[in-house]
């Protein structure tokens, strides 16, 4: 019996040690802002939201509004933004509950709420119209906005956009979020997150320690993980084709041919539905071309902007 009691005690200590190693509390917001906030004015109220937003380039230049993807932040666009801001007004922001933006005060992360958010961002900056560029889920938000608010959109840039049905994401119903995924609210060690992010890149070495740290720390912002789970649970896809067919603005699709998150084959679905779209296919690139091979996507984007400037 003493041996059994000793074994049980050892097992309990081991379990507690494992739990202590896995337990991942939120990071203090001030410490995150000290690293990732470029200027205090980049945190600003926009309607009911408090957003982390960067607005660079000439104020009277054509504007480009970038919308990041799931679990990401405005930092994903920085290479492109730095190259474009001498000629364009470049706006990028963290969606509510992502990066340094506070969670939505109502807990609403539906697409309808996101449409109101984009209107509020543009109105707060005095932008009557802009080119919208979005990645992944941000791509879906961009083309949905173009369909619902065509008067506000000059051009579309869709980087591996979400929107068509896939396993676990059917039309007309909320996504099935496994209970195991909800555990990330309490357990999110950086090595585990790094392993889950690496498949987004055709070249896993792109996931450097510095990049992994940024993603990890952004997800540990207060309320960020709850917001991510809420956005997943509140996302209800509808057949995108009727909306896409009504979008008339020039549209550029940028897609990595080795995308393991949203199939490259979906590019043909978009080309078949969008009346005025072209594709920049990037060989050897995964789901996040703006980080993996930024120069390739930037070249296609720059050519597109110049070619459609007068349209």
CA distance 135 to 262: 11
Q: Report CA Rg, the chain.
A: 21
User: Do residues 89 and 62 lie in contact, with contact meaning Cβ atoms separated by under 8 Å?
Assistant: yes
Query: Encoding tokens for residue 291?
Result: 């980080």
Task: Return the closest-CA partner of residue 238 out of 118, 112, 96.
Answer: 112
| Half-sphere exposure at residue 142, Cβ-oriented, CA atoms within 13 angstroms | 30
More confident residue, 24 or 88: 88
Count up the domains in the chain and report the number: 1
pTM: predicted TM-score of the whole model, two decimal places: 0.92
3-state secondary structure (DSSP) of residue 240: coil
pLDDT score at 19: 46
Instruction: Please determine, for residue 14, whether its predicted confidence score (pLDDT) is greater than 70.
Output: no
Residue 13 domain flag: no
Contact of 153 with 161, CB cutoff 8 Å: no
51: enclosing H helix or E strand: strand 49-56
Range with the poorest average pLDDT among 54-68, 142-156, 168-182, 192-206: 168-182
- Domain-embedded: residue 21: no
Inside any domain, residue 122: yes
* pLDDT at residue 159, rounded to an integer: 98
DSSP secondary-structure letter at 25? P
Q: Which two tokens stand for residue 303?
A: 């050519």
Q: Which positions ≥6 away from 256 have C-beta within 8 Å?
A: 160, 202, 264, 282, 284, 285, 286, 287, 288, 289, 292, 293
Could you identify the residue written with the tokens 């997800």?
Answer: 219
Q: Is residue 1 part of a domain?
A: no
pLDDT over 90 (residue 277) = yes
Query: How far is CA 152 from each of CA 96, 118, 127, 128, rounded to the nearest angstrom?
Result: 21, 10, 8, 6
Residue 194 in any domain: the answer is yes
Beta partners for residue 279, in sequence order: 253
- Which pLDDT score is estimated for 60? 95
What does the mean pLDDT of the chain come to? 91
pLDDT at 121: 98
The answer to whether residue 18 sits within a structural domain is no
Angle between helices 190-197 and 209-219 (to 10 degrees): 110
Distance, in Å, from the CA atom of 112 to the CA atom of 124, rounded to the nearest integer, reads 19
Give tens-digit pLDDT for 158-182.
999 999 987 767 888 887 777 767 7
Rounded CA separation 93/233 (Å): 22
CATH number of the domain that 31 lies in? 3.40.50.1820
Domain membership of residue 10 (yes or no) is: no
What is the span of the domain harbouring residue 245?
A: 27-307
Asked if the structure places residue 9 within a domain, the reply is: no
């Amino acid at each position: 019996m003493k041996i059994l009691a000793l074994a049980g005690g050892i097992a309990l200590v081991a379990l507690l040690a494992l739990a202590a190693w896995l337990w991942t509390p939120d990071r203090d917001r001030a410490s995150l802002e000290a690293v990732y906030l470029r200027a205090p004015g980049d945190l600003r109220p926009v309607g009911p939201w408090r957003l982390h937003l960067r607005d660079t380039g000439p104020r009277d230049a054509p504007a480009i509004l970038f919308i990041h993807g799931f679990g990401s932040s405005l930092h994903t666009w920085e290479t492109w933004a730095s190259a474009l801001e001498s000629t364009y007004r470049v706006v990028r922001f963290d969606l509510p509950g992502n990066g340094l933006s506070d969670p939505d005060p109502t807990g609403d992360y539906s697409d309808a709420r996101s449409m109101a958010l984009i209107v509020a961002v543009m109105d707060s900056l005095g932008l009557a119209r802009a080119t919208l560029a979005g990645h992944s889920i941000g791509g879906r938000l961009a083309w949905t906005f173009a369909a619902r608010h065509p008067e506000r959109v000059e051009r579309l840039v869709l980087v591996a956009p979400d929107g068509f049905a896939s396993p676990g994401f059917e039309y007309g119903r909320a996504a099935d979020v496994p209970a195991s995924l909800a555990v990330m609210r309490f357990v999110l060690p950086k090595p585990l997150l790094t392993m889950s992010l690496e498949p987004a890149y055709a070249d896993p070495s792109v996931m450097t320690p510095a990049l992994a740290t940024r993603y990890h720390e952004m997800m540990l912002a207060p309320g960020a993980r709850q917001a991510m789970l809420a956005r997943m649970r509140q996302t209800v896809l509808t057949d995108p084709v009727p909306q896409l067919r009504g979008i008339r603005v020039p549209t550029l699709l940028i897609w990595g041919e080795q995308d393991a998150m949203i199939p490259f084959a979906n590019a043909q679905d978009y080309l078949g539905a969008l009346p005025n779209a072209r594709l920049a296919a990037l060989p050897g690139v995964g789901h996040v071309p703006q980080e993996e091979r930024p120069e390739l996507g930037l070249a296609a984007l720059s050519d597109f902007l110049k070619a459609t400037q007068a349209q």
